[in-house]
Structure 1
C-alpha cells in the first residue's frame, strides 16, 4: 500500500487499485492529482507484479472534472498546461501495456469522464451520471474528450453530448457504448475485479497486442488496420504463449501462459 495526498494506491493479487482522493471537492482534477495519478501509472507500468489496473473515485463520485475554482482564476497558459498534463495521463493509460479498467462509482463528468474514456473498459454504478458539461462554463473538453468520445459512441452522439453539455444516466451510457457494464454500487468493485480477472486469465502477450492493434488501427484506413492486425498476429506467433495456447487447445487442456 502506498498513499499520496490525492491518489491512493494498493497492489493486491497482481492488480494496482488507484483511487482518486479529493472527496471534499468531488475529486476535482488539479495539477497535484494529475501528477500523482501519472506517477502511480508509471509505477504500475514498470512493476512486474502488476498485471492490470483498476481506477475508481473516493467518496460518492468518480470525478466532477477539472477544478473549476482553480480554472476561474488561472491564466490561459496555466489552463493549457493543465490540459496537456491531463492528456499525458490519458495517453499513459492507453499505452500502459496492461489493461486499465475504470470503476465508475459515481458521476464522471468533464475531465473525469475523459480519464475514463482513455481506459480499456468502463464499468458503472447504476446511479452514476456521465457527460461533458464544459460548454456550460464556456470551456472545451480539452483532456481528450473531443477525440475519444466520438470513437466510443460515434460522431453524431458525441456532438450532442459535447455541444449541449447534457448529462446521461448509466443505462443510457451503456446503450450508447460509453460504458461496458452497469451494476449495483455495492457490487461495482467486485464486478471490476471479476472482469479484469477474465482478461488476466488470457495470454498477457495476446491481450497487449490485441489492444495495441485495436487502438492503433482506429487511426488507419480499413485496409491499413487489417494489415496491422495481420502483423500483430505474426508477432503473437513468435511468443511462447502462442505455442502454449495452441498446444493446450489441441491437447484439450487449459493453457498455462507465461506472458512471454
Structure 2
C-alpha cells in the first residue's frame, strides 16, 4: 500500500495538493491527528483493493496533537512504507495569501498574535518535519496548474520506482527556488533577450535554442553539466534520496534557462531516468 503524508506550512497549498492527488487516484483524508494514523492505515489495509493509494494531511491545525507526528509515523511504518510531502512558501507570500483570503492563521490564537508571528512560529515547529521530508515543494511562484503538474509528476507513477529528478528553469529576478538541490546559473551564456526578433519567444522555440547553442561556450557548459549530473546521480541514489531538484536559472527564466533545462531533461529521459521538467517563470512578464 502506498501512503503519502502531506504536511507543511499553512497557506502553502496543501488543499490544492490533495485535490491533485485525488485526481490521480489517491484516497485523501485531511487533518488527521498523528496518533490516529496507524489506525487509519489499518482500516485502509482491510480494503486494500479500494484504498491502494492513500494520502493524509497532518499539520499544525491539530494543535498539541501534532506533537505526536513522529510517533504516528513510527507506528505507520508497521503497516507499510510512506513518503512525506512538505509544502512551503516564502513568509511574505504566505502573509499576502492570508491577507487576500482574510482567513485566520491556525497558530494566530489571539488578537495580539500577528500573521507574521504565527508563520515564524510554525516554521520553527515544522523544522524537524521539513528535514525529514522526502519531497519539498516551494509554492511561492507556482500557479495552481504548475503545482498540479508537480504533484502529478511526483506521484502519478509508483513512488517505489526510484528517485525522481525534477528539472526546472527559473528567473533570478523572481527569486531562487528554495527546494532546489542543485542550482546552475546560466546568465553567463548569450542572451536572446537583446535580439529583437527573439525577445518575445522562449527557449521552447527553435530560433532561441539555436541562438543559445551556437556559442562554443554554451556547448562546453552543456557537456560539463551532463557529465556532472551523470556522475552525481548514483551518489544521491546511494544515499536513498527520493527526489532531486535541478534548477537552471537565467535573468528572466524564459530563454537561456529554458533551453538548457530542456536539453538536460531530454538527456536524462534518453538515459532512462524518471524525470519531469517545469518552466516556472516562462509566462511571467
TM-score of the two chains, using structure 2 as the length reference: 0.29
Higher helix share: 1
TM-score of the two chains, using structure 1 as the length reference: 0.30
